[in-house]
Structure 1
Amino acid sequence: MKKIYLVTTLILLAVTACNRDFDQPNPNNPTIASFWKSQTDAVKGINAVYSTFHRTATLYSRFLFYHGMLRSDEGYGSGGDITLNNVMSFNQTNFNEGLTAGTWQNLYIGVFRANQVLAYVPAIPMDEALKSRIIGEAKFLRGLFYFNLTLYFGRPPLVLEPSEPTDRPSNATNEEAWVQVQKDLAEAAVALPVSYTGDDVGRATRGAAYALLGKAYLQQSRYQDAANGLAWFVTGEGKGVYSLRADYQENFTASTENNSESVFEIQFRFNPNENTDDDVDETRINNTGTSIAQFYGPRGVGFSDGAARRWLVGEFEKEKTALGTRDPRLPVTLLFDSTDVRGPQFTMVYGQTFASRYGTATGESSTVWFRKQLNDNEPGRTSEGFRSPNNHRLLRYADVLLMYAEALNGIGQTAQAYPYVDMVRARAGLRPLSQVKPGMTQAQFLAQIKHERITELTGEGWRFADLQRWGDLGPELAVRDPEFTNFRKGRDEWYPIPQSDIDLNPNLTQNPNY
């Protein structure tokens, strides 16, 4: 399918030094007064919000994968980027470090762009149905930006109008921030269509809004609210809209994007005119691909800046399929000495055997890499680069089913939750839980959900959020991730707020214990 071409129009007030009148607008640049006039402007404006996903490395091109995967117990900083390694080891001393401060700042760029759409599009004379959809898209995207700000920074200021240089917003509480996320997503859900066609495929849908809303409620252990929102997929209007792909790997290859399991994808595209991950200079043709494959790629292929923990392999090996074979999701999820079950002499790494590249050592001494973001499935591929076109499946139907089961279990409907986990297990060829573990208690079922989310969702960026909502973050995780020896409860659940913002804004305070 075609992807949206995300126009990177950013509507900013510009000034010129002509006649040294620094308040005079540059007549060659659009202003707020001159821009928001037509339906075309409205479409350009919402496309600019989507384009925030690709800004440099700080959002879905790279850094948000670091935050969700490497900061959790499933991954670690494995390369020569010492700053990355220190931040992922809970050893951050520079609160203006680009890895965290840049993420904060670019998320707020997204909020700023969404706020302009929400402020100015309502007054534009245009097709009313399109106007309503664009407003819904802006609310979904602002909800997503604030979801990340709340998840990783805890107490973000709520900026809900176009920003002014004199604004000095205070921190919201964590509870207030989640309420705003929920409000935006709930309002987006009723305004968005169920699906799109043609070049609009990939825009936010009603299902995307309900899925993220359910995730936001679940993050706060609001199980009934989460169940109510996610029920849209299984008993409501969305029943039958989505389905699990028979081939699990189709969720992670560029040739099978925007398929029936996809609820929301970050749309990437290959740009042959760009060979770095720099897209800030908006006078150039921007890089709208993702650079994560280059940074996660194995040694000799990419930079190997992020790798997976070995304990994950053991998690997949806890249970055989109904036919007595290995879980088929393991070789799709992880690249390691035995991605091919026969071992390093047969495991292929970009055209060479694992053994020829890294030797025949297996076990803890052998590196494990995340595979879902890589492109090694492409024929003839020998390396990675900064311009991967492989979409990131941010929200999948399998995730929705597991969240719904978790929500039902949370409200005491454990027996009713079994079928939704079994749908995910059946695709992997595993026997139904009702056969292997009937009659689980609420606590036992939650423990099983934790296992199921590892085997289904490892390497997709949700592990840190999972650990945070379960209250499982802490030094006790050091038994499988030594970096958690440094974890300080009451501090490291969130990143520090950038010190540069605090220095400029007397109403902004630092997160606890930093």
Structure 2
Amino acid sequence: MKKIFLLTSFILMVATACDRDFDQPNPNNPTIASFWKSQNDAIKGINAVYSTFHRTATLYSRFLFYHGMLRSDEGYGSGGDITLNNVMGFNQTNYNEGLTAGTWQNLFIGIFRANQVLAYVPGIEMDEALKNRIIGEAKFMRGLFYFNLTLYFGRPPIILEPSEPTDRPVNATNEQAWAQVVKDLTEAAPALPLSYTGDDLGRATRGAAMGLLGKAFLQQNKNQEAATALAWFITGEGKGLYTLTANYQDNFKASTENNSESVFEIQFRFNPNENTDDDVDETRINNTGTSIAQFYAPRGVGFSDGGARRWLVGEFKKENTALGTRDPRLAATLLFDSTDVRGPNFTMVYGKTFASRYGTNTGESSSVWFRKQLNDNEAGRTEEGFRSPNNHRLLRYADILLMYAEALNGLGQTAQAYPFVDMVRVRAGLRPLTQARPGLSQAQFLAQIKHERITELTGETWRFADLQRWGDLGKELAARDPEFTNFEKGRNEWYPIPQSDIDLNPNLTQNPRY
């Protein structure tokens, strides 16, 4: 009888377990709603949204550099990471690959955190000015996360409330996704201050929202809307708030961060008290540096997983400065055999000459590396690591000026666009475009803008977006980037949506031709 009783009890336990609602929250864990009670909670909540930037390798620590640079014609997977090389070469067969699926998932983690701020902070009794600012920050951050999702995945679902396990959202159209980006940034801007000081330095400002808003409009080829948004910097409230730095390279050194040209930076720092030099993972080691320098640095001082294409060097050499010297932005942008114009015996690579490390080959097969993410300008630096403190300048005033000129030209106001290109060129020591190439047609001016964005912005994650916006993605780019031999129009403009998400959510559909 005892055996029968025990067996019956076991069967009843199993039957009860089968009826359990596995979506029911653990009653022993604190709930989301129980957290959002005080002003301090609101501050912690918005700080958690910013911390998504540092989450593992999938956002601004590493992968978003890959997506914007290596997937474009300016870079490629140059090391032994075959998965990286295949994905960047438009040869992806695993739609759950961490390079893409991890980026998608972590962007949605950021959106989930922003949605909590937007859902719960309005109900907290706290300083109203601070409350409005935090809400504006959350909308900016959600707009930025959706900007990346829309740019790289095309058709993300729009989720505007804290997610529940039973949610099954549908894909938005590309137009709907961009509309949400615009809505978030438009609403964020008036709630944000013009600047910050002290520990708040680096938070989203009104200029950051207006700059990203202009970029979102331009990405959709909405030139009038883009020009209106970007005019905030030229004739509006932001006039005079930003200026180009005298030294171009100051925009890429850890010692000159958050300067007059910076519109929005991803903040990184090196913490000497961290007891590891492993990759960035906020859930495990709370590393607040960035690992991109380790993966972009040349062989012998880093992994060299991402390299720059040699054609870029020639693009910089198309035009000398007004004094007849080489464009100084080349040396600040690329590390190669002749970063020092005198050649490989004078070009220094982390304390040694290029010639001593790699030989004196200066031909097309000689390696080129992106420099803006590196720390080789620091005295005594002999190698890179996983905790670079060098901020990523996501939006610079120079980019604002070139976008404004592009928008004006798109509206047929080519003559009015010249002065804003001139400002960027003169800072680099080149003759003003009004002297070098006056009277360009609208099409010629756009071609010039394409060149100017290469020489000013190479290695800053915007090249893939530029090519997508201009409709220039295609096999024809294979002449300067052989990976584009694999590019299929109507397919590779976007990544595949992770198959794991589609398996869990029958309302999601895959992107075209995947």
**Which TM-score bucket, shorter chain as reference?**
over 0.9
1:279 maps to amino acid: D
CA offsets 1:132-188 (integer angstroms, 9 cap, x no match) = 000000000000000000000000000010000000000000000000000000000
Distance 2:281 2:83 in 1: 22
Deviation at 1:477, TM superposition (A): 0.3
1:31 Cα offset (Å)? 1.9
Which structure has the larger Rg?
Answer: 2
Moved over 2 A (4+): 20-27
How many residue pairs get aligned? The number is: 493
Q: Which residue of 1 aligns with 2:470?
A: 470
> CA separation in 2, counterparts of 1:26 and 1:491?
45
How far is the alpha carbon of 1:24 from its aligned partner?
6.7
Match of 2:218 in 1: 218
Q: For 2:199 and 2:408, how far apart are their aligned partners in 1?
A: 37
* Residue aligned with 2:364, SS: helix
CA distance in 2, matches of 1:285, 1:147: 28
**Aligned pairs for 1:81-480 within 5 A:** 81-272=81-272, 273=274, 274-281=276-283, 284-480=284-480
Deviation of 1:200 (Å): 0.3
* CA apart distance, 1:363: 2.0
CA deviations 1:66-118 (Å, max 9, x no partner) are 00000000000000000000000000000000000000000000000000000
Aligned position for 1:9: none
Please give the per-residue CA displacement for 1:382-417, whole angstroms capped at 9, x wherever unaligned. 000000000000000000000000000000110000
**Deviations for 1:333-354, whole angstroms, at most 9, x for unmatched residues?**
0000000000000000000000
Residue 56 of structure 1 corresponds to 56
Per-residue CA distance 1:305-343 (angstroms, 9 max, x = gap): 000000000000000000000000000000000000000
Q: Distance in 1 between matches of 2:194 and 2:440?
A: 36
2:13 matched residue in structure 1: none
Q: Residues 241-283 of structure 1, C-alpha deviation per residue, up to 9 Å, x if partnerless?
A: 00000000100000100000000000001123131114142xx
CA distance in 2, matches of 1:380, 1:144: 36
Instruction: Using the TM superposition, give the Cα deviation of residue 21 of structure 1 relative to its aligned residue in structure 2, in angstroms.
Output: 11
**CA 1:21–1:416 in structure 2 vs 1: closer, same or farther (change >3 Å)?**
closer
User: Percent of aligned positions with the same letter in both sequences?
Assistant: 85
- Mapped to 2, the partners of 1:436 and 1:62 lie a distance apart of 38
- AA matched with 1:288: T
Verify the 8 A CA contact 2:280 2:386 in the aligned structure 1. no
| 2:488 matches 1:513 | no
- Corresponding residue number in structure 2 for 1:12: none
CA distance in 1, matches of 2:26, 2:474: 53
Residue aligning to 1:3: none
| Partner Cα distance (1:124, 1:348) in 2 | 55
Q: Distance between the aligned counterparts of 2:255 and 2:27, measured in 1?
A: 44
Shift of 1:123: 0.4
> What SS class does the counterpart of residue 375 from structure 2 fall into?
coil
Aligned counterpart, 2:14: none
Q: Distance in 1 between matches of 2:330 and 2:512?
A: 39
Q: Distance in 2 between matches of 1:279 and 1:81?
A: 20
Distance verdict in 2 for CA 1:321–1:21, change over 3 Å:
closer
Give the AA of the match of 1:507: N
- CA RMSD, Structure 1 to Structure 2 (Å): 1.3
TM superposition shift of 1:285: 4.4
Unaligned runs of 5+ in 1: 1-16
Query: 1:193, CA displacement in angstroms?
Result: 0.5
User: 2:7 aligns to what?
Assistant: none
Deviation at 1:30, TM superposition (A): 3.4
Amino acid at match of 2:227: A
Q: CA deviation at 1:32?
A: 1.8
Deviation of the 1:34 alpha carbon: 1.6
Q: Structure 2 CA distance, aligned partners of 1:109 and 1:503?
A: 19
How far the C-alpha of 1:26 sits from its partner, in A, is 5.3
Inter-CA distance 24–72: structure 2 relative to 1 (3 Å threshold): closer
Q: Which runs of 5+ in 2 are unaligned?
A: 1-16
Work out the CA distance in 2 between the residues paired with 1:150 and 1:30. Answer: 33
TM-score after normalising by structure 2: 0.95
The one-letter amino acid paired with 2:419 is: P
In structure 2, C-alpha distance between the alignment counterparts of 1:302 and 1:32, rounded to whole Å: 41
Cα deviation, 1:38-80, whole Å, max 9, x if unaligned, reads 0000000000000000010000000000000000000000000
